Amino acid sequence: MNIDVFNPYAQKEATEFHVKIITDCCKSLGCQIHKIKTISRQKNNKEKGIIVIATKDVIKAKICGYKFVFLRNGGISPEESFMRHHSYFRYHVLSAIEMLGLHLSDFSVFVSEPMLSHYRKKYRIKGDNCYVMPCFNNEIKEHFSYPDKYKNNVFIYAGSLSVWQCFEKTVEVYKQIEERVDYAFFRVLVKDAKGAKKILEKYHVKNYSIDYVPVSAIEEEMKRAKFGFCLREDDKVNRVATPTKLSNYVASGVIPIYSKYLEDFEKIAKNSSYCIPIDNEEINIEEIIKFCRKEIDEGEIYKDFKGCFGTYYSKVYHLENLEKILVSMLQKYNKVLDNKQTNM
């Protein structure tokens, strides 16, 4: 089968990584992949599949006659829109589009189990043509032995000053740590240096640096950090989310300080001895302080993260699982499959 890939939106590394896993899986099953700029009606669409990343594009692809539509869905857009615009009209229109797109999709990839549960409850989708794969763009690497990584209490924040990323709450938490931990240091990686500095000065933070580095340099920054912040508010959008920065932290041996409302990550992280969940309303600073003063063995934390997150953030693991699911589904659309498919 020939499969088109339609992704005209602002590029996000985790989305690209997911799409690459799906296309690699399809290639291993003998499919030919082609990137397209528009979805249009073509004579051979009824013989092709297509990969899209928006529910509205599922509907368009079906109207244009595509035989098999893959959806990679990264967020609950009606709820996200309502948080930004507070418009019930927009919310209901987007919900109608989302519901139709999900029901028309032949196979959907969601970023968390809570997202799948949300759709089952809201739209009564069955979920037997779905797969869950968290947002991630790298895998666990042996960066745990960087010189003095676990001796220096370096905290890192990589993101933006968008309200939903809770930078001000993060600064508030760090300030409490700085007051009690000698030589704590806060490494802030954001584009808006002026805005970040204003917030840091508001809370009288003393030991910090502000910089912005390209995605390609983030890994080098993570090597030097001991702790990484990922705070979020308690709402539906965050409860179904799997922030990519958490995979960046874990992959490089950075101890995550994260909001417990990130339900999918919390489910895995609760089995780890080196992850710090917090309640945004009742922050347990003592737990963070304990880790600041704790002697950490790099081999133990590597073993811990590898054991807890080895499959969760594994490209090979998800490729193998997707292949097992897709081969049986694609058999419904193809009369002749190669030997690899028929033998599975």
**What is the predicted pLDDT for the residue at 338?**
47
Compute the chain's Rg from CA coordinates: 22
pLDDT band at residue 333 using 50, 70 and 90 as cut-offs: low
Query: What value does the mean pLDDT of the chain take?
Result: 92
Percent pLDDT > 70 in the chain is: 96
Q: What is the mean pLDDT of residues 81-96?
A: 95
> How far apart are the C-alpha atoms of 22 and 16, rounded to whole Å?
10
DSSP symbols for 210-267? EE---HHHHHHHHHH-SEEEE---SSHHHHT---HHHHHHHHTT-EEEEETT-HHHHH
Q: What is the mean pLDDT of residues 337-342?
A: 44
Kindly tell me if the per-residue pLDDT of 339 is higher than 50: no
How many helices (H) and strands (E) would you count in the chain? 15, 12
> How far apart are the C-alpha atoms of 150 and 50, rounded to whole Å?
46
Residue 335, token pair as written in the block = 């009369």
pLDDT 10s digits, 247-270 = 999 999 999 999 999 999 999 999
Query: Which DSSP helix (H) or strand (E) runs through 111?
Result: none
> How far apart are the C-alpha atoms of 139 and 82, rounded to whole Å?
34
**What is the predicted pLDDT for the residue at 174?**
97
Give first-to-last CA distance, the chain, whole Å.
Answer: 18
Q: Per mean pLDDT, which range of 123-132, 195-204, 251-260 is the poorest?
A: 123-132
Helix (H, G, I), strand (E, B) or coil at 34: strand
Kindly tell me if the per-residue pLDDT of 12 is higher than 80: no
> How far apart are the C-alpha atoms of 105 and 49, rounded to whole Å?
11
- Residues 109, 18 contacting (CB under 8 angstroms): yes
Q: Tell me which DSSP letter residue 178 carries.
A: H
Amino acid at 226: K
Kindly tell me if the per-residue pLDDT of 93 is higher than 60: yes
Partners of residue 256 on adjacent β-strands: 228
**What is the predicted pLDDT for the residue at 127?**
79
**What is the predicted pLDDT for the residue at 110?**
97
> How far apart are the C-alpha atoms of 154 and 166, rounded to whole Å?
19
Kindly tell me if the per-residue pLDDT of 343 is higher than 60: no
Indicate the pairing of strand 227-230 with strand 32-36. Answer: unpaired
**What is the predicted pLDDT for the residue at 337?**
40
Q: Tell me which DSSP letter residue 149 carries.
A: T
pLDDT band at residue 125 using 50, 70 and 90 as cut-offs: very high
pLDDT 10s digits, 142-179 = 778 889 999 999 999 998 998 889 999 999 999 999 99
Kindly tell me if the per-residue pLDDT of 306 is higher than 70: yes
Q: Residue 37 phi/psi, 5° resolution?
A: -100, -20
Tokens 């418009």 belong to 87
Which residues, at least 6 apart from 282, have a Cβ–Cβ distance to it below 8 Å? none
Tokens 């690899």 belong to 340
Q: Strand order in 227-230's β-sheet?
A: 208-211, 185-189, 154-158, 227-230, 255-259, 276-278
pLDDT band at residue 79 using 50, 70 and 90 as cut-offs: very high
> How far apart are the C-alpha atoms of 278 and 289, rounded to whole Å?
13
Helix (H, G, I), strand (E, B) or coil at 314: coil
Kindly tell me if the per-residue pLDDT of 336 is higher than 60: no
Kindly tell me if the per-residue pLDDT of 100 is higher than 70: yes
Amino acid at 195: G
Q: What is the pTM of this model?
A: 0.90
| Angle (deg, nearest 10), helices 215-224 and 244-251 | 50
